[in-house]
Structure 1
């Protein structure tokens, strides 16, 4: 009996030690992407727009949604990343995090990314809540995942054990006014990170 218990204990310890953390996200220079540091999110394919910013896309001046700059020379606005465990300093792949624009806006809103439905699309807006993981903040959690040799942003939060959220890649959808709005898409937005 003692032998069986020792074998079970050893197996459990071995499994726990064998589990590794997800790979860290790296910027264009190969440095670790860190929580609380300003970065630009830029497209891998140049000539197809610039970095990310906030803009009105709903025929009103507010709220502001997350859009891609139309000109590739524009880096957009700097952003920070806050992982589900705010004590963690390094951003890791496939881990829930909040994405927050560092700049202030003309609208009274938080600048925290969130996914919301608008005119039949799931779009990325900036009216979310930072932190407080759970059912009430499900739409505010995104993940950075490896995509070929670069990265993509995914909406597939795991902050609520009982919730079964919709999952999908974030891509760029061009609306009738020419705005390059971020939304759930079959074509992921292939990106890299550059320190601001």
Structure 2
């Protein structure tokens, strides 16, 4: 599961959105797959009707953007988000579970055969909520990024591992796609959500 060289990182580089603008802290962005025909953006949904916290999943239809997420640097108080810096990723929606909207990776009983899946309900600057973005050179002329979990970069980490882990999509037994740590590269682009209202009271998947 550690990253395998198909993506690269440079801490000096600023992350850019799909319009070529610098990625701003605290601004909601849709997280969309780079390649069309592979489904829509990231969203939140329940494994069962009353389950909490909500899982981070993919919209099944290409035209569905999902819900917006904010990306906030953990270490430096900067306006821009930089590559390979530890960040907190937070869903910009109302959580019906009334918990934290911060994304974390955990072992969830959602049918993904033991993969560590992403849910919300995390805490900022904790190992299980410690992510970074690194550039994935997959399509010329369009910046795409790989989300990685890097537990050692945040909080008090008792592990001696200095590995980062790719975060991509894993399907359960009925074909629903969950965000989880996986060896598969999942390049994404980030689209500013201000073309529509930045906050939504609910999601179509709940």
Q: Secondary structure at the match of 1:139?
A: helix
Larger Rg, first or second structure (1 or 2): 1
Q: TM-score, normalised by structure 1?
A: 0.81
* Unaligned runs of at least 5 residues, structure 1: 1-19
Number of positions where the alignment pairs a residue of Structure 1 with one of Structure 2: 172
Aligned match of 1:115: 105
> Greater helix percent: which structure?
1
Structure with the larger RCO, 1 or 2 (CA within 8 Å, 6+ apart): 2
Partner Cα distance (1:154, 1:176) in 2: 24
Matches within 5 A, 1:31-180: 31-57=21-47, 60-85=50-75, 87-119=77-109, 120-130=114-124, 133=125, 137-149=126-138, 150-157=144-151, 158-159=153-154, 160=156, 163-165=159-161, 167-180=164-177
Query: How far did residue 107 of structure 1 move?
Result: 1.3
Across the aligned residues of Structure 1 and Structure 2, the Cα RMSD in angstroms comes to 1.9
User: 2:40–2:60: 8 Å Cα contact kept in structure 1?
Assistant: yes
* Unaligned runs of at least 5 residues, structure 2: 1-9, 139-143, 194-206
Partner Cα distance (2:119, 2:91) in 1: 11
Q: TM-score, normalised by structure 2?
A: 0.77
Change (3 A) 1:121 1:179: same
User: 2:72–2:88: 8 Å Cα contact kept in structure 1?
Assistant: yes
